[in-house]
Amino acid sequence: MKIGQFEVENFTKPYVIAEIGANHNGDIELAKKLIDEAKEAGADAVKFQSWTKDTIFSKQVYEENYFLADDYRDRNDYTLEEIVEKFSVSEQELIQLSDYCKEVGVVFSSTPFSEREVDFLADTVKVDFLKVASMDCNNYPLLEYMAKKNLPIILSTGLSTLDQIDKAVRTIENAGNKNIMILHCVANYPPEDKNVNLRNIDMLRDNYPEYPVGFSDHSIGTSIPLAAVARGACIIEKHFTLDKDMFGWDHKVSATKEELTEIVTEGRRIIEALGGYRRKLTSFDHEKIPSFRRSVVASVNIKAGTTITRENLDLKRPGTGFSPETLELIVGRVAKKDIPSDKVLDSQDF
């Protein structure tokens, strides 16, 4: 599978998406700073969220104001509707941010929450991929609409049963799009470690062997996304911030520049270190075999004409003589000459 020019395959260098989301707090200059920092950290892409107050929540939610009350910051100086409106990004701003990403040299994308936003991202901005938020994994009409844009689809699976994931994948396929990448995701912010279930990466790969599988992370720190890389996740999506204590929704579970840099650099080391399944010796192994292995040596002084016994022999470095597996073939041979103790035996000795 490809995202732009980047090949995305299981157990290869992970494609790292810095999820800026709403961490720009509605400030276009802060958004640009986040893009700069993500690029410097080594992210392959930055991703925003394309919604308005009319496309994400109904009037009922705004009236209940529950999302705000349930927020870990428990703000009461804004209503939910006011925050959503403040943190949304206009179409003109998205174009500006996309153009800025081209200048900086990092891939731009965004998550649409309505058909209009799909049209705008696919047809006007011309993003390299579309991302499906976990909340929309069972929004099959939207999935079908997105799929028909014939762009790579990154499907986040938080909140979803395997049946729902399967229906989402088949919906996209049936719309004629098989450029699908699936992200294991736990939608809690942050999840307890015991609920992360990274083995679901293996499960998704087993169920959908034709598609790359990655991980959308909401944990604190870098250990869990790096563990996901070790399980073969070829996409890592991680929320990104300049300051975990900044006002806003996702800053607390977001990576700083230093943490994202670690995910990028250490993730690449992990993939390099995973290597291949087939056993083979390195050039170092071949070079060091003579000095690291053992050879058959005389453990005592052996007189010429003596029948060699096991007690006459020992195994010591270097490995330039007879190898340990020949030991029993030497026992019972007759010494042709005096063999001094600790000599590495050769074919001229018996």
Average pLDDT of the segment spanning 331-336: 96
Mean of the per-residue pLDDT values of the chain: 94
If you ran DSSP here, which 8-state letter would residue 307 be given?
A: B
Domain boundary among 250, 274, 298: 274
Q: Which domain CATH number covers 42?
A: 3.20.20.70
Give the model's pLDDT for residue 72: 53
218 with 198: CB under 8 angstroms? no
Query: CA 146 to CA 263: how far, in whole Å?
Result: 30
pLDDT in tens, 204-256: 999 999 999 999 999 999 999 999 999 999 999 999 999 999 888 888 899 99
* pLDDT for position 76: 73
Are residues 253 and 109 both part of a single domain?
yes
DSSP secondary structure letters along 81-106: HHHHHHH---HHHHHHHHHHHHHHT-
Give 77-109 pLDDT, tens digit per residue: 788 898 889 899 999 999 999 999 999 999 999
- What is the model's pTM? 0.89
Residue 153, φ and ψ in degrees, nearest 5? -115, 120
Q: How sure is the predictor about 73, in pLDDT bands with cuts at 50, 70 and 90?
A: low
Report how far residue 146's alpha carbon sits from residue 165's, in angstroms, rounded to the nearest whole number: 16
Same domain (yes/no): 200, 332: no
Are residues 188 and 337 part of one domain? no
Structure tokens at 302: 């052996």
pLDDT of amino acid 157: 98
Which structure tokens are listed for 164? Answer: 């729902």
Name which of 30, 25, 28, 3 is nearest 14 in CA terms. Answer: 3
Number of domains comprising the chain: 2
**How far is Cα 233 from Cα 231, in angstroms, rounded to an integer?**
6
Residue identified by tokens 């994994």 is 137
C-alpha span between 176 and 150 (Å, rounded):
8
Other beta carbons within 10 angstroms of residue 198's beta carbon come to 17
Q: 264 and 212, same structural domain? A: yes
Q: Assess contact for 133 and 143: CB atoms under 8 A.
A: no
| H or E stretch at 268 | helix 257-274
- Alpha helices by DSSP H, 58-175: 59-64, 66-69, 80-87, 91-104, 115-119, 140-147, 162-174
Closest by CA position to 153, among listed 211, 206, 92, 203: 211
Both 6 and 95 in one domain: the answer is yes
Q: Is residue 80 situated within a structural domain?
A: no
Among 64-78, 158-172, 182-196, 204-218, whose mean pLDDT is lowest?
A: 64-78
In the chain, how many H helices and how many E strands? 14, 12
Q: For residues 29 and 90, is the Cβ–Cβ distance under 8 A? A: no
Q: Are 172 and 155 in contact (CB under 8 A)?
A: yes
Domain extent, residue 123, equals 2-52+88-274
In a domain, 71, yes or no: no
CB 163 within 8 A of CB 135: no
- Same structural domain for residues 42 and 98? yes
Does residue 31 surpass a pLDDT of 90?
yes
Q: How many CB atoms lie within 10 A of CB 350?
A: 18
Asked, for residue 108, whether it belongs to a domain, the answer is yes
Task: Tell me: do 192 and 141 sit in the same domain.
Answer: yes
Residue 254 CB neighbour total at 10 angstroms: 27
Q: Which of 252, 274, 296 finishes a domain?
A: 274
Q: Is residue 33 part of a domain?
A: yes
Q: How far apart are CA 252 and CA 247, in angstroms?
A: 9
Residues 181 and 308 in one domain: no
Number of Cβ within 10 Å of residue 64's Cβ equals 13
Residues 294 and 264 in one domain: no
Q: Where does a domain end: 274, 292, 324?
A: 274
Integer Cα distance of 100 and 93 in angstroms:
10
CATH number reported for the structural domain that contains residue 303 in this entry: 3.90.1210.10
Q: What is the pLDDT of residue 77?
A: 77
Return the biggest CA–CA distance within the chain: 104
Residues 20 and 36 in one domain: yes
Pair 128, 179 in one domain: yes
